[in-house]
Amino acid sequence: MSFIYVGRLDELKGIKVLFEAWNMMGESAPGLMVCGMGPLEEWCKDYIKKNKLANIDMKGKIENTEVKKLIAQSDALILPTLWYEGFPMTIVEAYSVGTPVIGSNVGNVGCLIEDGVTGWKFETGSSRDLVRTVRSIKNYDLSEMHKNSFKRALTDYSQDNNYKILFLIYSHIQKETKRVYPRH
């Protein structure tokens, strides 16, 4: 199995939680690609070296088209954020290539993942629960998860669907404005 993290190497993004989980799994940990830069880049490299984590591959900054290819080749994207994210595009990008997401159960990250269908949620900030989640994936039909994730991208996040939703919002606002301010 192989997993990928894409994002800023920052404590609030949960990079320490992710690395601690991989350290807990030891030699049995699956492969993990880490794409991104940030203030904890040197900490990450030192942690890998200190703990002899040969299964973590630091990729650095990668162009978006290449990142999407790497996400598509991964069994799951991991989003271990510790804080409330607005609307993480990495989730939509993962779904668009049929890759399920393992995410911390906080804010919109937890809301955008349907546990056991388009990915898996784990307790925010818990390396131990992330380990449990990663290990439990072998109990799922990954081909079905890939189909579900891609289907979610098509039904919920396609350009046409978003246009329809935006049109409905503007139509509703226009009707309400006319009702509240009839002369406008």
- State phi, psi for 54 to the nearest 5 degrees: -70, -15
The pLDDT tens digits for 105-152 are 999 999 999 999 999 999 999 999 999 999 999 888 899 999 999 999
Query: Other CB atoms closer than 10 Å to residue 179's CB: what's the count?
Result: 8
Do residues 6 and 90 touch, judged by C-beta distance below 8 A?
A: yes
CATH number of 2-156: 3.40.50.2000
> Where are any strands of DSSP class E within 69-159?
76-79, 101-104, 119-122
- State phi, psi for 38 to the nearest 5 degrees: 160, -175
Answer yes or no: pTM beyond 0.95: no
More confident residue, 183 or 10: 10
How would residue 34 be classed by pLDDT, with cut points 50, 70 and 90? very high
The pLDDT tens digits for 141-169 are 899 999 999 999 998 888 888 788 888 88
Q: Inform me whether the pLDDT recorded for 179 exceeds 90.
A: no
pLDDT of residue 104: 97
Do residues 99 and 78 touch, judged by C-beta distance below 8 A?
A: no
Helix H segments across the chain? 15-25, 41-51, 64-73, 89-96, 107-112, 127-136, 142-156, 159-180
Which residues make Cβ contacts (< 8 Å) with residue 27, sequence separation at least 6? 55
Q: For a pLDDT cut of 70, what percent of the chain falls above it?
A: 99
pLDDT of residue 146: 94
Q: Inform me whether the pLDDT recorded for 23 exceeds 80.
A: yes
CA atoms within 13 A on the CB side of 109: 23
Distance CA 153, CA 148 (A): 9
Q: Are strands 76-79 and 101-104 parallel, antiparallel or unpaired?
A: parallel
